[in-house]
Amino acid sequence: MDELNTRLAAFEAKENERTIARDFARESGHLLPLPNDPLVTGITPTPPVDRYGMVTVKMCRYSARSSSSTARSPSRSPATT
């Protein structure tokens, strides 16, 4: 048990000497340069709305509520003759 505690204490002492700057300096020679192209992190789909008011994006279906759907249209009263 004492040997294990000694090994653990030696590991912790060595680990406490590490810093991000030292790790980066050691590993920077293995890193590739960053690409000049901008990173695209998302897409902006414009899927069509089907007759049920649903859109499909990458095989997932979603309800396609538009901002105008929250406004109620005036209801028509039956025509009297």
Residue 73 lies in a domain: no
pLDDT tens digits for 7-65? Answer: 999 999 888 888 888 889 999 999 999 889 888 888 888 889 999 999 998 889 999 77
- DSSP string computed for the chain: -HHHHHHHHHHHHHHHT--HHHHHHHHGGGPPPPPSSPPP------PPP-TTSEEEETTEEEE---GGGGSPPPPPPPPP-
Residue 78 lies in a domain: no
pTM for the model: 0.32
The domain containing residue 12 runs over which residues? 2-68
Residue 80 lies in a domain: no
Domain count, the chain: 1
Residue 77 lies in a domain: no
Residue 81 lies in a domain: no
